[in-house]
Amino acid sequence: MSEQKYSIVIDLRWCLDELLADRVIDQRSYNLVITSRRAKEQHPLLTISEFGLPNAHALDSASEAKLTLSWLNQWLAAKAGMAMVRIDPLKVDVPAVTQLMSFEYARSQHILPIEVTLDEVVIGTDQPFFTDWHANIEKLIKSKTYRTVYISPDQLKRYRQEFYQVTQAIAGANSLHKRAAADVTNVEALLQLGDNTNPDANDQHIVKVVDWLLQYAFEQRASDIHLEPRREMGRVRFRIDGVLHTVYEMPLAIIVAVTARIKILGRLNVAEKRKPQDGRLKTRTPKGLETELRLSTMPTAFGEKLVMRVFDPEVLVRSFAQLGLSGKQLETWHELTAHPNGIILVTGPTGSGKTTTLYSTLKQLATEQVNVCTIEDPIEMIEPSFNQMQVNAGVDLHFADGIRSLMRQDPDIIMVGEIRDTETANMAVQASLTGHLVLSTLHTNDAPSSLTRLHDLGVQPFLTSATILGVMAQRLLRTLCPHCKQALEVRPESEIAIQWQELVQPWRAPLPAQIYRATGCEHCRQTGYQGRVGLYEIMPLSNELKKLVATDANVEALKKQAYREGVQPLRLSGAKRISEGVTTIEEVMRVVPLH
């Protein structure tokens, strides 16, 4: 960046003068803002954006009609000749950037380091014409070069506060818990395995770290939070859209204390570190919604690992369309769930969205006239309209026992968390034969395979054909980021066309004229994807399929008949999503079995 000849802190009058000179606003808008009484410490662009002034540069419908903060940021960055950067907190090495300068200095100079490499430091600012700090930064970074970028004032203020607060909390906790590091169980000190030393989990610094961690996870749409001990440093990772991201590395003693704090909140035995434990806690998201977190601990080579599964509170109010069901598949699912009795199975690997599908379905079926009962291991989300029971091996309450008890509770609909063994499978069959609608899950790759899986568990084929209404196989696909996805023209001889044929064979699916590819931008953390959607294969049991099932036909025969009847396999469902511009060929091939 070229050096400025002057150094000023821009204020409200300066911004309005420049906007007026650039003919972005008129004199009336100028007078409206300049005569208002607003907080002086607020950045001028924030103040101007609050008025919703008309944008004189909005010459067409694609432009923003009002002066939004986003537009004003781009205007100021262009005026200063700076690149505009959106902070991705998952990409920032917080300890490295906060060590570069103190919070007080960063605040007084209107800056925040956002990246530190071996030879360069990137400094963000919302005051692009203020350069007093340039000479000092050259002394701080010594042999490194520096580059200045523009950052939106709301982002700068928020992340400057957050980064320094969490660093301060971890540093404070570390100074108190240094001795705890020697007590951590690891593979190099096996005699200490199960040591009951408990760092002070109620220390104010640890409380702050835990609060920050949970709120941060909610903001980043994390589905899982991993606290992982290592030999010297522990790390925190978030699973976002199915992919793990390292968020923070902190001293091992702090990981121990944070884990202990969360165990206390989840009512787990803090002293017990030798065996896995399960628990749950309830908290609120930044939006004020109550949400459940399922806790799971396990002893590892370097100490106790904790995973928190975050259950989205909005799952229960999602429609089938929001889950990704549409057209014929949605119609078929409605027909299946309208039956008064029988078994409906949802199948797929762990993390494929089976629980979300079942809960959303049950929520829509749970009217005042219906008694919905569940037996789960564990209860995933508390829903007042369900009667939920949890498996408890300690008192010999297993899935089969739970179904047996629920059948005496006058249920209309029974949800069984998972069919794992012969007894559970047979009890589910008995429940459906006695007039109940049973929904449950299995772990198979596709819908037809679930029927042979039941036979492997010991269910008689004639009972399977008499009770199974249908099977849904599903996966979760990452969806393309709407801000950066790029259209590609597809030619018959191109590599994309070859991939398409590999995906859809042996079926016939027309090659789309264009598909989209993932590129990456600030909105999607350079991944090219943002959010996930369900991919489904729904197989209702027709009379012909029931005949095949009753004769214990093999899975290939079942697949041929199902596909002959129009069941859309997962691969073709994925191909449809590709044609619609929802996702990419690479993503479908990543999650869908090709053979």
Higher pLDDT, 499 or 176: 499
Predicted local confidence at residue 282, as pLDDT? 86
Which of the four pLDDT bands, split at 50, 70 and 90, describes residue 593? confident
* 192, pLDDT greater than 60: no
Average of per-residue pLDDT across 16-23: 94
Predicted local confidence at residue 284, as pLDDT? 85
Residue range 69-95, pLDDT digits in tens: 999 999 999 999 999 999 988 888 888
In sequence order, the β-bridge partners of residue 143 are: none
- Of 405-409, 464-468, 489-493, where does mean pLDDT reach its minimum? 489-493
Which of the four pLDDT bands, split at 50, 70 and 90, describes residue 485? very high
Higher pLDDT, 261 or 170: 261
Predicted local confidence at residue 517, as pLDDT? 92
Alpha carbon distance 76, 574 (integer Å): 43
* 231, pLDDT greater than 60: yes
Average of per-residue pLDDT across 385-406: 92
Predicted local confidence at residue 142, as pLDDT? 76
Residue range 337-352, pLDDT digits in tens: 999 999 999 999 988 9
Cβ atoms of residues 529 and 481 within 8 Å: yes
Predicted local confidence at residue 200, as pLDDT? 57
Higher pLDDT, 62 or 511: 511
Residue holding tokens 């027709």?
A: 542
Higher pLDDT, 397 or 351: 397
* 20, pLDDT greater than 70: yes
Predicted local confidence at residue 525, as pLDDT? 78
* 252, pLDDT greater than 60: yes
Write the DSSP assignment of 181-237 as a string of letters. GGG---TT-GGGTT------TT-HHHHHHHHHHHHHHHHTT-SEEEEE--SSEEEEE
Distance between alpha carbon 307 and the CA centroid of its chain, in Å?
14
Predicted local confidence at residue 521, as pLDDT? 84
Predicted local confidence at residue 89, as pLDDT? 84
Predicted local confidence at residue 207, as pLDDT? 86
Residue holding tokens 């709120």?
A: 215
Alpha carbon distance 254, 401 (integer Å): 42
Q: Against a cut of 0.85, is the pTM above it?
A: no
- Of 35-49, 168-182, 324-338, 492-506, where does mean pLDDT reach its minimum? 168-182
Q: How far is CA 91 from CA 248, 411, 431, in A?
A: 10, 50, 51
Share of the chain above pLDDT 70, in %: 91
* 199, pLDDT greater than 70: no
Predicted local confidence at residue 595, as pLDDT? 58
* 190, pLDDT greater than 60: no
Alpha carbon distance 485, 581 (integer Å): 9
In sequence order, the β-bridge partners of residue 515 are: 488
Average of per-residue pLDDT across 179-191: 42
